[in-house]
Chain A
Amino acid sequence: MSWSRRQRLRLVRGGVYAATITALVLILLVVDWGALGGALFKWGIVKDQFPDILTTALRNTVIFTIFGFAGGLSLGLLLAIMRLSGVRPYRWFAATYIEVLRGIPLLVTLLILGFGIPIATGWKWPNPYIQGSVPLALVAGAYIAETVRAGIEAVPRGQMEAARSLGMSYSRAMATIIIPQAFRIIVPPLTNEFVLLIKDTSLISVLGVTASTLDLARFGRNGVNDTANATPLVVAGLVYLALTVPLTQLAAWMERRSKAGRR
């Protein structure tokens, strides 16, 4: 006998539910929850993380992120304008820069710039914040440049033509007409770039840190070494989430709103 399409679907779905529930029950029975909780979220250790995780680690993560983003945004804007320029060497330079820095892992770029340059030239980074933020900004600039370029290209061509027909120069039209509209379009993706940057700051500690320049990830890792317990990393992860989730939600909300606003 043959079953209808709907009956077959119902059977498959029922099977998937049954398998999922069985797996969950097995996990609940097999795992030693007490031991797990003790290793990942021990309340005494959680409390010990405060207030330093906020006053030092979170503060440093925010500083690295803001420096990196400010630098990356300025550089990204410049690169995007060069990428769209009529001058071939500018276009070529921007395209190469973007390709190269997006093609190398951030960790490698950090090590090359943070360690390699001082070894090669004898020049020393003036302070650890600059040593960490500058490579971060240089890489963020490459990613942000592509976002900004997409934004500029999304502004209708007629806007530039209308501006030029009123006697504005190309650069004035860019500055007063095109770029303000481009930024409205790219606020949601830029917010997502910002979130990526928050997480990327966790790599900066490979350049070596002092007690005062610890970021969230390194703070958690040091805590693990001190306590022989994974709780400090879990707490650090939660602090990251407290930063990133509201921002991604904000970006999603702005994106929905701008979609609804477009008639």
Chain B
Amino acid sequence: MDGTAFEGRPALSEPLVRIEALHKRFGSNHVLCGIDLYVTRGEVVCIIGPSGSGKSTLLRCVNMLETPSDGRVFVDGIELTDPDCDLDRARTSTGMVFQSFNLFAHMSVLDNITIALRKVLRQDRSAAEAKAQKLLTRVGLAEKATAYPAQLSGGQQQRVAIARALAMEPKVMLFDEATSALDPELVGDVLRVMRELAEEGMTMLVVTHEMDFARGVADRVVFMDSGAVVEEGHPDQVIGNPREERTKRFLANVRKRD
């Protein structure tokens, strides 16, 4: 032991998620060109930007579903980019919600939520199911425990996916365009659950096209383009009064679409 006290235990001022000089290349395609980003405890950070800007890739680097080409990623003081890092264990502190829901199609809603509790955290079935039931109530789907994913609407599936991620009691939730695959009338239910989660103090990193959500819920908005952070700050500033030309152009295009 050297002088660094609290080895492995981050100081309170340490951000929960810290990304340093992150690069990602797919062959000759340079998708992320040196990203620095942090998320502090309890903070909600929304990443916006045109498609192909690298925002989903960035999010997927936070739990190492994509392996960065260069740079470092820390979550709760643990460096995930360290080759010796136990990724399976580290991933239990990040919950992820996908654009395409990715519920396990061969399992009931209840099993979807409890499978990782039972197989990864070794909880017994009754405790896991009690917890799952509580989470289902929280996302408004208490009566769907025995249903299969194919029997649910997209919005219901996504809320189950949120409950599944929350069951692991992650320190940070990652949302990868969670409402982009939904019919417009189903978006509201999912956003409401996300908003409640933010109000309860969950740390969230959210890739989204929902500008109203970003403006209303985010503590900080990050605008990305061509694999780089172009502008970041308070939502009222970045979305309401952007400084950068590219941000203005992007927001104008989004408004035109709506």
Using a CB–CB cutoff of 8 Å, the interface residues on chain A facing chain B are 156, 158-159, 161-169, 172, 176-177, 180-181, 184, 263
Q: Within 8 Å of chain A (Cβ to Cβ): is B257? A: no
- In the complex, A184 Cα to B88 Cα: how many Å? 27
12 A-B contact pairs sorted by A residue (CB < 8 Å)? A158-B98, A158-B101, A162-B98, A163-B104, A163-B116, A165-B65, A165-B165, A166-B116, A167-B88, A167-B120, A168-B88, A168-B116
Chain A residues in 8 Å Cβ range of B88: 164, 167-169
Range for the number of chain B residues in contact with chain A? 20 to 34
Q: Within 8 Å of chain A (Cβ to Cβ): is B102? A: yes
Identity of the chain B residue whose Cβ is nearest the Cβ of A261 in the assembled complex:
B150
Distance of A177 from chain B, by nearest CB (Å): 6
Please indicate which of the listed interface residues B89, B103, B104 has the most CB atoms of chain A within 10 Å of its own CB.
B104
Chain A residues in 8 Å Cβ range of B168: 166-167
- In the complex, A263 Cα to B148 Cα: how many Å? 14
- In the complex, A165 Cα to B63 Cα: how many Å? 7
Using a CB–CB cutoff of 8 Å, the interface residues on chain B facing chain A are 63, 65, 88-89, 91-92, 94-96, 98, 100-106, 115-116, 119-121, 150, 161, 164-165, 168
Identity of the chain B residue whose Cβ is nearest the Cβ of A155 in the assembled complex:
B105
Contact among A162, A164, A167 with B104 in the assembled complex (CB-CB below 8 Å): A162
Distance of A187 from chain B, by nearest CB (Å): 13
- In the complex, A184 Cα to B121 Cα: how many Å? 27
Distance of B34 from chain A, by nearest CB (Å): 25
Q: Would A164 and B92 count as touching, CB distance under 8 A?
A: no
Chain A residues in 8 Å Cβ range of B165: 165-166
Tell me whether chain A's interface is mostly helix, strand or loop, or mixed: helix
Q: Would B89 and A167 count as touching, CB distance under 8 A?
A: yes
Chain A residues in 8 Å Cβ range of B105: 159, 181
Identity of the chain A residue whose Cβ is nearest the Cβ of B98 in the assembled complex:
A158
Identity of the chain B residue whose Cβ is nearest the Cβ of A166 in the assembled complex:
B116
- In the complex, A159 Cα to B98 Cα: how many Å? 10
Contact among A156, A158, A168, A184 with B120 in the assembled complex (CB-CB below 8 Å): A168
Identity of the chain B residue whose Cβ is nearest the Cβ of A157 in the assembled complex:
B102
- In the complex, A263 Cα to B116 Cα: how many Å? 27
- In the complex, A184 Cα to B92 Cα: how many Å? 29
Chain A residues in 8 Å Cβ range of B120: 166-168, 172
**With known contacts A166-B120, A167-B120, A168-B116, A161–B102 Cβ distance under 8 A:** yes
Contact among B96, B101, B106, B150 with A165 in the assembled complex (CB-CB below 8 Å): B96
- In the complex, A176 Cα to B98 Cα: how many Å? 20
Contact among A159, A161, A169, A176 with B65 in the assembled complex (CB-CB below 8 Å): A161
Chain B residues in 8 Å Cβ range of A177: 104, 115
Identity of the chain B residue whose Cβ is nearest the Cβ of A177 in the assembled complex:
B104
Q: Which 9 A/B pairs are nearest by Cβ-Cβ distance? A: A158-B102, A162-B102, A166-B116, A167-B92, A165-B96, A167-B120, A167-B91, A169-B88, A181-B106
